[in-house]
Each structure stands twice: as structure tokens, then as C-alpha cells.
Amino acid sequence: MSFLDQMTKELLKRYGRLALGKPFAPAFLNILVTSVCDMRCIHCFFTEELDDKERKKNQMKTENIVRVSETLGGNLSVLVIAGGEPFTRVDLPDIARAFYENNRLESIYLMSNGQIQKRILPDVERILTECPKLHVTVALGLDGLEADHDRIRQKPGSWARAIDTARQLQKLKKRFARLDVQTCTCVMNSNQDRLFEWYDFLKHDLRPDKINVNYIRPPAARPEELNIDLERYRRLSQMILEDSRSGQAKNVYGGPNGAFKAAVDIYMHELIAKTQEEQKAQLRCFAGTAGGVIYDEGTVSSCENLPPIGNLRDYDWNFSALWYSEAMQMRRARVKDGCFCTHESNCYYPSLAFNPKHLVKIKRLERDIIAARKRVEAVEQQATVATASS
């Protein structure tokens, strides 16, 4: 069953409301669960918040987030847990379970710098065990080869540890096929000269389930990082597209919707490059409608690029009360008016399924990825049989 088949009911419900101009519960939710982090990366957009000691006192408690899930007002397809470093929180499995039980959550993405292994490994295993149908992706922030990464992350030894975390998670995947290990590389000034060597390492050595690249966005702790060569980003994106189509890089999530989700990720790169080049919208953004963002201290926004609308603590942690407020309605009107940016998970990810012109092309790419996987799996199976009989 394809992604759309599984999601048809949810999407159709939302398409119907969209046609009537009525808002609906988000299908894609980003929660920045904490402003605590053991790193200070030079490209981080959240540095000011990480350094704000007062802010930490207002961090949402477990019961606040559980109440958000209870009042979300609908089922949730994708939950992205980010920060800060999410694994600094001891309640991540409880948060995942709340959305799994209350909102029939399909996929969770856990963004991590890969350092706190004593939390990451047991927590991921607990989530997989306690949520038996949930697809879990651990997205490890890796910004290049060892020297580049350690310099960008301002933490010697952090590359070796993050790579080791990736390899340990790959072992865990042997027991839990619903786990995907993803690398997430932010393309920036400091790593753009060695991007292709880095991609070679990912493709031939580490071989994660999914290779993701993000276009750096402001603010950055070191503003010079925002100066990047668009053509290089484009070339890398094209390489990823071709390797995914031919099966030379795995580059697909597991599960029945995995190829569709991968196709969305891969397809968006060229749109992002075009947006940057032409400085105009290439799709209608549905941030604030299909997708939303909740910050660590309870504020809610359509996306990380526009200021928050309000704080959930002023709405007794009732998400729907804030989501259907007049202020949010005004934000939707602003977004509808041709707003554009390069934000992968806030703009493109929640919006592409609601842009029919793009959806048709994504479905075509999904078919190519599935066909490539089948060819690769057939070759691997033949090789296994040959080895067993020799």
C-alpha cells in the first residue's frame, strides 16, 4: 500500500476542508522539545535560545506535551522531534507514545547530534518496543568529514562518536526493521569545498538508509556560513537524485510509505535551489495549516522563520484552542499570500502533498525509487544464494 493509499483518508479529509477554506489539524508537527544542547555549532539557528538560561525554566513538561497530543484534534502522519538536543530529555519515549496512542502517529523523526549514546540507544529501542507499528528515523547531524565536522561542531571527537552511534543504530536495525538511520548534512560555507568527498563516504562507507542535505538558513551563529555556492548544492542534489533513481545509493526509508517520503525529500532540493535563485515561491506553502511548530517553552508558530503566534500555556495547553485562534487565522492569510523560503521541514515537507502539480512528479519519482530498490534487492538475493551454495 502506498503512502497516499494509507494516508488517503486523512489527506482527503484535509483536502475537503482546504477546498472550503477551513483550517484542519496539522498532519506534520515539529516540536523543538528543548533548548538544552551540549554543542555550539557555528551554523546553528538556535544559539541565542541555547544560551538563554532563563528560558530553560519554562521548558514544557511531559504532561504539557501529552496534553498537546490529546488536544491536537486529529491524527498525525509525521512528528519531528528537534531541539536543542532532544535526547537530553529523559521523557522522549513517553512523548513518542503519547502521539502514537492519541494521534495514530505513523512516523517519528528524532533529530540528534549523536553524542549521548547512553540515552540515544536505549530510548530508541524503548520507543520501537512500546510503539509496535511506529516508523522511527534517527536523523544524525553530520556536517562532513572528520576535521570539517569537528570544527563546525566546535567539539573534537564528536564526528567519531556520531559515526559510532550511526553504526550502533545500524546494528539495532537488524532487530527492528522499522528503524531508519539518516544522516543530515547542512550545506554551508565551511563544508562546501569537500561536499563531494563527504557524499562518497556516505554512499560507499557509512551507507545510511537515507542521506539528507539541508540548505543553511538564517540566522547562523557564524553569519559567513550563509554564503554558499548554489551550483554546488544543485550538483550534489542532482547526484543524490540520480543515485536514488538508479539504486546506487539506498536513500529510501523503510515501511510502506518509505519511498514516497524519500521522493519528497529528494524532489524538494531543486525547488529549493530555484526558490533561492529566483527569490519567489515555487509552491503554495501550507505551514500553519498542514504543518506547525511548537517550541520548548510552549510557543507555537506556522514555522521557524516567522515569529510565534502565542503560547500554549495561555491556552491551558489546549493545542486546538491556539491552532484555531484568530491570530493563527491571520498567519494563514499571510502565508497564502506568496510567502517563500528554503526551509525543508517547515515549508516543503508539509506542503508538497497539497500541491497537485508537484505531487504528480513526486509519485513518478517514488515509482522509480521502488523499481531501483527491487532491482538491487534481487541482485543481493542472487549473491546470497550463490554464496550459500558455493
User: Where on the chain is the footprint of ligand SF4 (CB under 6 A)?
Assistant: 37, 39-41, 44, 46, 50, 83-85, 113, 141, 285, 287, 302-303, 305-306, 335, 339-341, 343, 346-347
Torsional class of 214: left (φ above 0), alpha (ψ -120 to 50), beta (otherwise): beta
CB of 26 to ligand SF4, least distance (A): 13
Which is closer to ligand SF4, CB of 178 or CB of 343?
343
Minimum separation from the CB atom of position 51 to ligand SF4 (A): 10
Whole-angstrom distance, CA of residue 49 vs CA of residue 258: 33
Q: How far apart are CA 138 and CA 166, in angstroms?
A: 9
DSSP symbols for 102-163: HH---EEEEEE-S--HHHHHHHHHHHHHHSTT-EEEEEEE--SSHHHHHHHTT-TTHHHHHH
CB 267 within 8 A of CB 352: yes
Residues 6+ apart with CB under 8 A from 164: 117
Minimal distance in Å, beta carbon 276 to ligand SF4?
12
- Judged by CB, which is closer to ligand SF4: 285, or 294? 285
**Cell numbers that stand for 370 in this block:** 521502488
Q: How far is the CB of 152 from ligand SF4 (least distance, A)?
A: 9
Q: Which is nearer to ligand SF4, 140 or 369 (CB)?
A: 140
Task: Scan for cell 495514530, then name that residue.
Answer: 104
Question: Shortest distance, CB of residue 371 to ligand SF4, whole angstroms?
Answer: 32
**Closer to ligand SF4 at the Cβ: 38 or 70?**
38
Beta-bridged to residue 179, according to DSSP, are 136
Whole-angstrom distance, CA of residue 159 vs CA of residue 183: 12
Measured from the CB atom, is 195 or 339 closer to ligand SF4?
339
Which residue, 66 or 341, is less far from ligand SF4 as judged by CB?
341
Least separation in angstroms between CB 47 and ligand SF4: 7
Least spacing, CB of residue 388 vs ligand SF4, in Å: 44
In whole angstroms, the minimum distance from the beta carbon of 285 to ligand SF4 comes to 3
CB nearer to ligand SF4: give 256 or 338: 338
Q: Which of 163, 330, 148, 368 is nearest to 251 (CA)?
A: 368
Residue 153 CA to residue 176 CA, distance in Å, equals 30
Query: Which C-beta is closer to ligand SF4: that of 88 or that of 237?
Result: 88
Residue 229's φ and ψ, nearest 5 degrees, are: -85, 105
For residue 189, give Cα distances in angstroms to 144, 149, 194: 12, 12, 10
Q: Which of 247, 118, 106, 235 is nearest to 178 (CA)?
A: 106
